[in-house]
Amino acid sequence: MPDAPPHPKPFTSLAEPAALDDLRVRLRSTRWPDAPEDAGWSLGTDIAYLHELVDYWADGFDWPAQETALTRLPRFRIRLGGLGIHFVHARAVAPSGPVLPLVLNHGWPDSFWRYSKVIPLLTDPGAHGADPADAFDVVVPDMPGYGYSDRPTGPPLDSIAVAALWAELMGVLGYARFGAAGGDIGSHVSRYLALDHPDRVVAVHRMDGGLPVFTGDPADLAPEERAWFEDVTAWGASEGAYGAMHRTKPQTAAVGLTDSPAGLAAWIVEKLREWSDCGGDIERSFTKDEILTNVTLYWLTGTIGSSMRMYHTNAAIPPEQLTRRVEVPSGFSLFRGDIVRPPRAWLERTANVVRMTEPERGGHFAPFEEPELYAEELRAFFRPYRAAATG
């Protein structure tokens, strides 16, 4: 008999009390490193801040309350490509016009958590002071090896393979045509959705242009493109050590990060601070509860190693894939606090740019940092493409 078609099943996460007890024991037993006097964040995570965060994680943070809040999102699991995939599927509330299906693609170091604040703003704009005609059906999957999706037991999937999975997922959910949006690795996944499924993706919105790959004559680059390449190289030298580790020896780091919750928090928190629009004060962008919800998701699912391994697989994507031009209508919101922001000349070289904005607030995690602003960016960009998805 043929295999039954994949079917989503409702999903609720519930941490075992023993897992939370073990977490607290480990936190209270942290073996702390020394730090030079007044080092602050200059050498990586500020040990004084991390100590404060870990103390709160052990004795003040209420994970069951955060877990309950996440359960209010309509969450499901489905079997695709031999893997259990976790996703949010939130339908439009009281729409007054065509509803555009939208798949939102997260990056590292996060999961569906990245979009948890923005989902209700997109599904029910009328309840948040916006036009009900801009309502979306929203799908937010956890990539394999992230969040509550299965960790691949063989080679990790690259962004191309994840895009193919999401195209299949959207088909199973009944969406023949849809929009795609994302940032970080999710920007790559959105790009490959547009490249490999242009008959189904009506438009694609991204928060970045990725790291540049150019195989032509450098003399053909515009001055601002060459300057950006230099900026990216400088950023990689000062900030890119994490990525080099992920691409080359992720299992080495995974041992310590999977065993030590304080180490895991240090690895993630430093990036939340450095990449957000917080002006050096991480709690301008994230409360302790918000930070620890993201980190605890990684801890309880044991996915820090599998999430990092995707960098290794993506590093093997051939240059001819990386230099393909996206012809699907593309929009970019380059938030002022984000990293390695490309010039328009580069974006137009690599994509069919129909809209580019530079919001004054928000950084790499703008859907979480500035959900109202991010939601408005998506509403404005996708507005002309609603009829294309439903016609």
Convert the pLDDT of each residue in 94-124 to its tens digit: 888 899 999 999 999 999 999 999 999 999 9
What is residue 388's predicted lDDT score, i.e. its pLDDT?
Answer: 79
Q: Is the pLDDT of residue 212 over 50?
A: yes
Convert the pLDDT of each residue in 13-70 to its tens digit: 999 999 999 999 999 999 999 999 999 999 999 999 999 999 999 999 999 999 999 9
With a pLDDT cut of 70, the percent of the chain lying above it is 99
**Considering the domain boundaries, does residue 283 fall inside one?**
yes
**Catalytic: 364?**
yes
Helix 288-301 and helix 17-28, axial crossing angle in degrees, nearest 10: 110
Number of structural domains found in the chain: 1
Cis peptide before 384 (omega within 30 of 0): no
What is residue 3's predicted lDDT score, i.e. its pLDDT?
Answer: 65
CATH of residue 350's domain is: 3.40.50.1820
Q: Single out the catalytic residue among 89, 106, 312, 364.
A: 364
Average pLDDT of the chain, as a whole number: 96
**Considering the domain boundaries, does residue 60 fall inside one?**
yes
What's the domain range around 144? 22-28+44-390
**Considering the domain boundaries, does residue 378 fall inside one?**
yes
With a pLDDT cut of 90, the percent of the chain lying above it is 94
Convert the pLDDT of each residue in 301-313 to its tens digit: 999 999 999 999 9
**Catalytic: 51?**
no
What is residue 390's predicted lDDT score, i.e. its pLDDT?
Answer: 72
Element at 53 (helix H, strand E): helix 47-59
Q: Is the pLDDT of residue 4 over 80?
A: no
Length of the chain, please? 391
Report pTM: 0.96
**Considering the domain boundaries, does residue 6 fall inside one?**
no
Q: Is the pLDDT of residue 1 over 50?
A: no
Question: What gap in Å lies between CA 267 and CA 273, rounded to an integer?
Answer: 11
**Which amino acid belongs to residue 286?**
F
**Considering the domain boundaries, does residue 369 fall inside one?**
yes
Convert the pLDDT of each residue in 219-247 to its tens digit: 999 999 999 999 999 999 999 999 999 99
**Catalytic: 188?**
no
**Which amino acid belongs to residue 276?**
S
Tokens of 116: 């948890």
Q: Single out the catalytic residue among 124, 184, 208, 338.
A: 184
pLDDT, average across residues 184-212: 97
Residue 81: name the closest of 12, 143, 1, 147 by CA: 143
Q: Single out the catalytic residue among 311, 312, 374, 385.
A: 311
pLDDT, average across residues 62-80: 97
